[in-house]
Structure 1
Amino acid sequence: MDVTKTETATALVALVEANPTLVLIDDKKFEDFYEHVKAEAKALPVDLSTEKGRKAIKSMAHKIARTKTAIDEAGKKLNAEARAKIDAVDESRRKIRERFDALKDEVRAPLTEWEEAEEERLAKVERFFNRMDACSKVALDDTAESVKYRHESLSLITVELEVFHSRHTEAVQALDRTLSVLRDAYDRLTREEEERTELARLRAEKEERERQEAERKAAEERAEIERRVAEERKAREEAEAKRQEEERAKIAQEAEEKAKREAAEKLEAERKEMQAKLEDMQRRAREEEEARHNAEVARKQAEERAEREKQEAAEREKEHARLSEEFAKERERKAAEAERQRIEREKAEQERVEREQREADAKRQADREHRGKVMGAAKAAIIEIGIPEDLAKDIVLAIAAGNVPHVSIQF
């Protein structure tokens, strides 16, 4: 039994060496051949201690490598032959496909042209309804002018029966409905813009009245201050004139009384002089000298009083000038303060208007984003139940526009 098996293996080895492709197309032959090679390799004694033993191992490994290479080369050759046949078949297939495709395109050309025209017509119809839907939506940042422009643009559209076919009536109604929406929006936006203009005018008039009232009050305050200063100056001048008059009267009275006393003394001296001429002459000389001295003293006192009064008058004039200068500075300060307050009011108003504008812009942006999220979620939910995305989008837009009765989107 073992002899027969060995002979069979030896014959198989001879066949494979003659035609290596046998093991490529027959798995059973490959397994038998491989097991034979493996058994032969395993039967080789492993003796690494001698040169002969090492060469024997090296020779066996080289034999196995040659066997592998021979089988692989045979496989490559077999593949090349098969690939040449496949390439020839593929070339025939390509020519056949091209000729049949050309014939198909020639036969289908009229239908293709009609389908393309029909596709363009349907796309045009779809663009029309999309435009009607988009134009009927009035955004928060739309103005009366932009709405008017859309209305005028749509008014030029002609709804042709040969384009819309069965949807002609629907298209006419959509155009009329959109034009009506835009007319209503234009009227509303025009009223709102007029109201904003009127509000701005009333605000400006109020500010002008407040400014005029502030200027009037400032003028009244300036007039009151000037009146008080004038009254105080007049009172001081009258008091000074009265004091000077009283001073002059007092001096005159003192001089008169002094003159009377001197006259009496003189008479008394003359009387006594009659009694003792020499004594009287000597005494009279002394008295006259004393009188002259007193007169000189009185004159000097009068001059000193006059100089003092002159200096006091100069001081009063200087004080008056100082008060006038302070009043002028105070008036300029109040005018500057009024101007500063006016500028601050204008600045505050400008900042308020800009803040309101920013808040309105942010609110519009947030509203657009919120509406987009809600409508996106609604579209996704419709798509999940098997509706195509473009149809789901149209459904959501129609609901949002209020074109689906008894159905709405809660934003």
Structure 2
Amino acid sequence: MSEATDLVVIEKSNAMAVFTSKEQLDPLLEKIETEARSLVPDLTTKKGRDAIASMAHKVARSKTYIDNAGKDLVAELKALPKQIDESRRIVRERLDALKDEVRRPLTEWEAEQERIKAEKEMNAWHAEALEMNAEFDRQLAARREADHEMALLMNDKFDRDREEQRRLAEQARRDREEQIKREAAEQAKREAEEKHRAELEAAARREAEARAETQRAEREALEAQERTARLAQEAREQAEREKQEAIAAEQRKAQEEASRIKREAEQKEAARLEEEKRVADEEARRAADKEHRRTVNRRVIADLIAQGIPEEFAQKSMLAIAGGKVQDALIKY
């Protein structure tokens, strides 16, 4: 914020209230107006003229200071959406990391439970396959024993048949074991595929939710930015209107002040001319009176001389009478 002036100080914490409330702004302007108008203009001395110029300069500095304070406030409002977005990004990243950190033991436990379950199922399938093989071996052993007893009673053909049967039985056992293994592998594969598909679906849902959250956050940020821009524009328009009104008011006041000063100067000049005329008229009157007295005094001297009084005595007599030194004698001017 700009440096404070001699006429006004705006605290940064109170700047928003000053520029958005006439109840705050009007007293500020009225204080400046009151202090500026308290100056009694005196154009007759250099000190008085300097005082007028200094007060006008203070008013101009106050105007620049208030306007710059408004500009600083608008700049802060423009930077506010970026600060909010940055804070939201920090909140998302840190809380997502915290969520993963807090859930990690449960996630690891769930994965371990899935592994144990799959291992148990695989062990169950293996035990079942072993049991089936054992049963097949028991049945085969029983048939072998029966075949052996019959072989003792039968000829080579029966021996060959028995051997063929044993071979077929052995092949059937191997085929059965391979089939069990294939079925177990296919079952494990299906379950792994189902688990993978479930994980993919869960990841897709999380991604969709994250995308929806991002879109919502972007909409909110855009709305906040538009709202802030609208408020800033309204504030600028209001400030511009008030600025133009203040300029017009200042111009009217300046014009009125200039007219008042001009009237006072004209009145002082008229008074000065009147005084000069009075002094000149007084001096002219005194000069005329002096000349009139001189003329009268010369006539008195001439009249005394005409009566046979010497000129020197005539002059002294006139001066004595004019000076009031001769009782009951008076020169009428």
Task: Work out whether the TM-score is over 0.5.
Answer: no
Q: Tell me the TM-score normalised to structure 1 length.
A: 0.38
* The structure with more radius of gyration: 1
